[in-house]
Amino acid sequence: MTADTIRTWLVERTYSDDEQNLIILTYATTDGQQYFRKERALTSFTDVRDTTAAVEAELNNLGSVDDPELREQYATEAQRMEDLHDPDDLI
């Protein structure tokens, strides 16, 4: 981690309704206040891209979680992931 990054934990994995073969990975801070999204196209079964329990996100790439219920959900899940996994664990 650097002064310009923060560790975020995987809290949600969804499939896009708008586009086929797109997975949206949502990572959040353990307080649930901020989130980072990664979109990944599933081009083929041979295209291997690992999903880790945590990623280092640049501060300027984080969004704010304004909804209190969603913030609590993200905080709970991020803390659970932190408790159960090392950051580089494959999920």
Q: What is the pLDDT of residue 79?
A: 98
- d(CA 24, CA 15) in angstroms, rounded, equals 6
pTM of the predicted structure, to 2 decimals: 0.88
Q: Give the percent of the chain with pLDDT over 70.
A: 90
With cut-offs at 50, 70 and 90, classify the pLDDT of residue 1.
low
pLDDT surpasses 90 at 37: yes
- d(CA 91, CA 69) in angstroms, rounded, equals 25
pLDDT surpasses 80 at 5: yes
- Hey, where are the domains in the chain? 5-84
Average pLDDT, the chain: 91
The pLDDT tens digits for 38-82 are 988 776 555 567 899 999 999 999 999 999 999 999 999 999 999
Q: How far is CA 9 from CA 5, 29, 39, 45, 64, in A?
A: 13, 6, 15, 25, 15
Q: What is the pLDDT of residue 43?
A: 66
Q: What is the pLDDT of residue 13?
A: 93
